[in-house]
A and B are shown apart, each in its own frame.
Chain A
Amino acid sequence: MAIAVPKRRLFGRTKRPGSTREALVGYAFVFVPMAVFLLFFIYPIGYAVYISRYDWGILGPLENLGWKNYSHLWHDTLFRRAIKNTIEYTVWVVPAQMALGLLLAVVVNQRIKFRTFFRGAFYFPALASSAAITSIALYLLNINGLFNKVFGFHRAWFYDTQTALPAITALNAWTTSGTMMLFYLAALQAIPTDVYEAAAIDGAGPWRQFWKITFPLLKPGHFFVAVVSIIGAMKVFDQNYIVSRGTGGPDYATYSVVLYIYNTAIKDSALGLAAAAGVVLFIIIFLFTIVQWALFGRQEAN
C-alpha cells in the first residue's frame, strides 16, 4: 500500500543517466488514468459548479440565477437538517469504523490459526451489497425482529426518531470495518519487526508495544483511513434511502445531504439546486480533509 512506503524513497532520488527515458515511460503509464480522471472527475466537477448557478431543468438551463441556489440552500431548513444529520453521523461512524478496523487488523495480523479464514470473514460484510444488508437489517431490527427477541427490547429501531440514525451508524460501522481493516493491515505490515524485537528486549509487554510502537507508527495509516472514512461517511445515502423509502424519516432523522441531492435532482428535477448542494458537500469534505492533513499528514512529510 502506497501510504505505508516512506516518502523519501519516492522523491528524494538524485538524477542518474537514463532517468529522462524512465520518466517518459512513467508519464505514459500515468496518461490513461489521468485522462480518465480529467474526463470523468475534474470536468464534471467544473460542470457541476457551472450548472449550480442556473435553474437547470431536465432539458437544460431555464434561468441564470447567479448565486441564488446557494442562498436558497442557506435558508432551506431541510438542507440544514441534512447537513446536521450527515455531520452527526460522520462524527459517530468514523471513530467507530477506525477503532473496529484497527482492532480487526491487529487480530488478523497475529500468527494465529485460520488467519486467512478470519481475514476473509472480517472482510466479507464489505463485499455484500449495502442494499442487501440494509434490507436484512430491516427485518432483524423490526419490532418483532431477532434483535429485540434476543436482547429483550421492544423498539422499531429504524422508525424511532431517537434510534433511526444510530441504527444506521452501527450498521455502517460494521459493514465498512472490513475495508478499514484491510487498510490498517497493509499499514501494520509496513512496520519493521526490529522495533518490536528491540522493545521486547527492553521488556515492553504486548499492551505497551501496541500503544508505544504500533499506534504511533501507524500514523500515515490513520491519516489515510480517516480521510477515506470521512469521505465515505459524508456521502451516506443508500441505507437512509432504503430505511426511509426516500423520505428521510422518521421526523427527518435519516435525511442526509446526498438524499437531499437525490430528491432535488431526481424527484424535483431541479438539477441546478442539486448541483449547488453537491458543491457545498464537496467543499465541506475538502475542508475536513485539509484539517486532517494539517493534523496528521504534514508532520509525516517532514
Chain B
Amino acid sequence: MRRASLVVLAVLVGVVAIAGAQARALLPDKASSVKKTTVTLTGWASSPAETAALRTTIAGFERSHPNFTVNYAPINGDYPAAMLAKFAARRPPDVFYVDSNVAPDWMSQGVLEPLDSLIKKNHYNVKPFFPRLLSAFKYKGHIYGLPKDWSPLAMETNNAMLAKAGVKPPKTWAQLRTAAQKLKDANAVPGGAPVCIDPDWARLLAFVYQNKGSFLNAKKTAPAVKSAAVRQAVQFYAGFQSAGLAGTHDKLGVGWCGEALGKEKAAIIFEGNWVVGYMSDTFPGVKYTISPLPKGKVNGNLGFTVSYSIGKNTSNKKAAWTLLSYLVGKQGMHLWTQQGIALPARKDVAVPKGRSAFLKQAGYAHPWQFAPRFSKVIDTANNELTAYFQGKESLDDMLNKIDSAARDALG
C-alpha cells in the first residue's frame, strides 16, 4: 500500500518537472526581445464600443511610442471598491480613470499624485482644457488629474410628438412649461407623460444653477440649499410632476428617462451625451432632436467629467505621465472622442458630428461634484427629494434636512 503511493508520488513529481521544463521552453527568451516599458491602465468599461474606442487610442499611443506597451485591464463592476483595495495595498495602476464625483475624496486622502511638477517639467500646456472641467480635479491649489472627456445635460425631444402638439423644442423655462401643457392637451404621448423627470439632484441641480442657485457656497464650506433660488428651481422642476405634465421613470415603467424616450413614453427628457449611443443601438427608429437645456434666469448645466490620474504609489510615474499626457493630448483625445463615445475636454479637439448642442454648454457647466465624504449627503438629498415628489414631505422640511446633512458632512 505504502509502496504504491510512493510510486504514484514519484510519477507525479516527474510529470510536473517535465511539464515545467516544457513550459519554460515555450516562453520567449527574455534577452532577445527589445526592452519595453509596460504601463498599466485601468478604467471602467460601460460598453463594448467604449472599450473598442479606447483600444484604438491605445494602439495610437503604442504606434507613436514604440518603446511602450500598455497593459489595459478595465475593471468590471464596482470601480470605486476595486480601486480602494488597490490604493490601500499601495499598488494602484499607473494611469486610471477618476470620476469627478469621487475626485474630492481621492484627492483629499492623498492617493493621487499631484501633477503640477510633471506639468511644469514637461512644459505641458493645460490651457486648452475647459477650465470648469479642469477645476473638478484641482484640490488646494494642485492638479490631480486631466479631464479625458465630459458630458453636460441636454434636452432630447421626440420629433413626431412635438410636431403633433405643434411645438418647437423650448428654449426657456416658460416655453418648456407651455410645450409640456400643449403636449398634454394634444394627447401627444399616449400611455406616457410629456416630460420624464426623476427625483434626482443630478438633473435638478442643472435647473438650480439656471436659477442662480447652488448646492454649496462658492468655497464649498457650507450648504446653500435653503435659498429662494433653490426653492424656486425645485418648485419649477417638481411642478411638472404635480401638474400631471411629467412622470418619473418608474411611473412610466422604464429603467431610466432615456428608455422613456426610446419607448415613446415621454416627449421631452434631459440626459447627456450617453443617450446618443443608447438610442442608435436600442431604438434606431425613434427620431429625436438634441437641444441645449432651456434657459432659466441664466444658462446653467451640470458637467459629468472623468480624468486620467496617476497614483501616489504608482511605481513608474515618468512612464505613467507619458501615457497620460498622450491620452489627454490633442491626438489621443481626438482618437478617443471621434467615434462619439464622449465629448472632448479640450477646446482644440473638434466635437463629433451632431453633438454641437452639447458643446454650447461647456461655458456654463458646473462639475457634478461636492466635497469629500459627501456621497451619503447626496443619497439623503435624493431620498428627501423623492419624499417631496411623492407628497410625503414639505419643501421646507426637505431643504432643512438636506441642509443639516450637508452641514454634518462638512464638519
User: Which positions in A face B, CB cutoff 8 Å?
Assistant: 57-59, 76-78, 138, 142-145, 156, 158-159, 161, 246-252, 255, 260, 263-270
Contacts and interface: CB of A to CB of B under 8 A. Distances in A.
Contacts of A159: 248, 250-251
* B: contact size bracket: 35 or more
Nearest to A159: B250
A269 B109 contact: yes
Contacts of B88: 58-59
B164 interface: no
Contacts of B251: 143, 156, 159
Interface in B89-137: 90, 102, 105-106, 109-111
Name A's interface SS: loop
Interface in B232-258: 248, 250-253, 255
Nearest to A143: B253
Contact of B390 (A144, A251, A270): A251
Given A142-B253, A250-B390, A251-B387, 17 more contacts: A59-B87, A59-B111, A143-B252, A143-B253, A247-B383, A248-B383, A249-B386, A250-B387, A251-B383, A263-B379, A265-B84, A266-B78, A266-B80, A266-B81, A267-B80, A269-B106, A269-B373
Contacts of B252: 143
Nearest to A144: B253
Contacts, number: 91
Given A59-B87, A268-B375, A251 B386 contact: yes
A250 B387 CA distance: 7
Nearest to B111: A58
Contact of B382 (A77, A249, A265, A268): A249
A138 B374 CA distance: 28
A143 B250 contact: yes
B392 interface: yes
Contacts of A251: 383-384, 386-387, 390, 392-393
Contacts of A142: 250, 253
B315 interface: no
A142 B259 CA distance: 14
7 contacts: A58-B88, A77-B405, A159-B251, A250-B199, A265-B84, A267-B105, A270-B373
A59 B109 contact: yes
B253 A266 contact: no
Interface string B373-411: 111100110111011001011000000000001001000
A156 B253 CA distance: 8
Contacts of B78: 266
Contacts of A250: 199, 383, 386-387, 390
Contacts of B84: 58, 265-266, 269
Contacts of B379: 78, 246-249, 255, 263
Contacts of B105: 267-269
Contacts of B384: 251
B271 to A, nearest CB: 16
Contacts of B109: 57-59, 269
A78 B382 CA distance: 13
Which of B109, B250, B251, B393 is most buried by chain A, counting CB atoms within 10 A of its CB?
Answer: B250
A264 B84 CA distance: 12
A269 B253 CA distance: 34
Nearest to B78: A266
A87 B376 CA distance: 21
B382 A247 contact: yes
Nearest to B248: A159
Nearest to B374: A268
A78 B380 contact: yes
A270 B78 CA distance: 17
Contacts of B90: 59
Contacts of A265: 84
Contacts of B374: 268
A104 B393 CA distance: 43
A54 B248 CA distance: 41
Given A58-B87, A59-B87, A158 B375 contact: no
Contacts of A58: 84, 87-88, 106, 109, 111
A36 B168 CA distance: 68
A217 B252 CA distance: 52
A161 B392 contact: yes
Nearest to A247: B379
Interface in B302-340: none
A176 B274 CA distance: 38
A225 to B, nearest CB: 32
A246 B372 CA distance: 18
